[in-house]
Each structure stands twice: as structure tokens, then as C-alpha cells.
Amino acid sequence: MPDSTDNKIVNKIRDYKSQRLFFVDDFIAVANYKAVSKALERLVEDKVLTRVATGIYARYKEDPALGVILPTTEQIAKAIAKRDHARIIPTGAFALNALGLSTQIPLNVVYLTDGTARKIKAGNRTIQFKKTTPKNLAAKGNISSLVIQALKAIGKDKISELEKRKILELLQKEKTKDLEHDIRLAPEWIRQIMKEALSGK
């Protein structure tokens, strides 16, 4: 690679052995924003990196049958949240899919956040971050936080017996202390389902 900026960025990427996603800001110590952006585009051409979205890059990864492998929506969202020191929680169809209540993998994913509201286009996928109140992000349990959002997506009085049974099974795997904490954050009708799970522990 003829450009020293490219070499410096490649060396920095090698230093971040466990990191797959990168932002332009990760390399500002190497050169100015414009020079880094141009270097990253050259590294995309050289198949060192893949451009995921505006200002977001990933290590190049290719499968012989599937072609270029891009990071998942969740990986992208978590990387952005980590960079911005923000909390996020998936909503709607994505929360349902994450819990195994739906096989549909949504192309348009909405996260609640206490960070900046924005919409990011990553290939044919859209990741939207919606600003929300601290209460909606205060849940401690990984399962119970998803359950609250999934049940909101389903709607009151629309949950099937099969869905309820599955949710109760999932909630009983949650840490008791976290479940007790998160019950207080849920709407009353969701709270009753969570209490049922708690009493069955």
C-alpha cells in the first residue's frame, strides 16, 4: 500500500484483534478526518475493510457461497451505542425475534436510546435510534427488558396462550433480583404476567 496513512490504519486494525467494526473517529489520531476517510475507502477497494454504512466499516469477511458477510444489525447497533456511551434496547419485531416469539427478521429495526436520535442505512437494512425516557432503559434483566418491549409490540389483550406460555418460560430463566426490579417498570398488564413468572420460580 503506497499511502502511509493506509499502513497506519491497517496496523491499528491489527491491534484491535477482537474488534470487527470501526468508525472514522477510531483513526483520527492517524491523520485528519478527510485523509482517514479517503484511506478507509482505499482499504475497502483493497478488500481489507467493508463499508457497512456512512462512516462505519467492518473487517472484510467473505464466504465462498454467501459472498461478503456483513455484521448483524445487533452488532452494528451495539458498536454505535458503545462509541456514543449510550444505552439501547430493541423494540417491536426485533424484540419478538430475539425472544424466539417470531421467525421474522425485520429489515427495519428500532432501538430506544438515551443517546442521539438517528437513522442509519446499512445495505438494505435500516437501524433507527429513538430517544426515550430513562425509565424505558432502566430494566436490568436481559430477558425481562426484551419481554416488556415484545409485549408492548403484541399489545394488551392480543397475546395468545402459546406466546404467554413461552414468555413465562423465558422470564423464569431471568435472575430473580432483576425480575423483581423490572416488574416495577412495566405497564400494569405486563406486570401481571411478570408477577406470574416470578411466583412460578
Tell me the average pLDDT across 96-114: 94
68 assigned to some structural domain: no
CATH of the domain at 36: 1.10.10.10
pLDDT at 200: 82
What is the tally of structural domains in the chain?
Answer: 3
pLDDT in tens, 126-158: 999 999 999 999 999 999 999 999 999 999 999
160 assigned to some structural domain: yes
1 pLDDT above the threshold of 70: no
Which residue range forms the structural domain that includes residue 103? 73-136
193 assigned to some structural domain: yes
Does 116 share its domain with 159? no
pLDDT at 3: 66
| Residue at which a domain ends, from 63, 85, 111 | 63
Does 23 share its domain with 55? yes
179 assigned to some structural domain: yes
Does 108 share its domain with 86? yes
116 burial via Cβ count (<10 Å: 0-12, 13-18, 19+): exposed
Does 184 share its domain with 159? yes
192 pLDDT above the threshold of 80: yes
Kindly report whether the global pTM for this prediction surpasses the value 0.95.
no
Does 104 share its domain with 50? no
140-174 burial string, b = 16+ CB within 10 Å, else e?
A: ebebbbbbbbbbbbbeeeebeeebeeebbebbbeb
| Residue at which a domain ends, from 116, 136, 156 | 136
Does 132 share its domain with 152? no
Between helix 188-199 and helix 142-154 the angle, nearest 10°, is 140
Does 80 share its domain with 130? yes
Does 77 share its domain with 132? yes
pLDDT in tens, 8-37: 999 999 998 888 999 999 999 999 999 999
* pLDDT > 70: percent of the chain: 99
118 assigned to some structural domain: yes
Tell me the average pLDDT across 87-107: 94
| Residue at which a domain ends, from 113, 136, 159 | 136
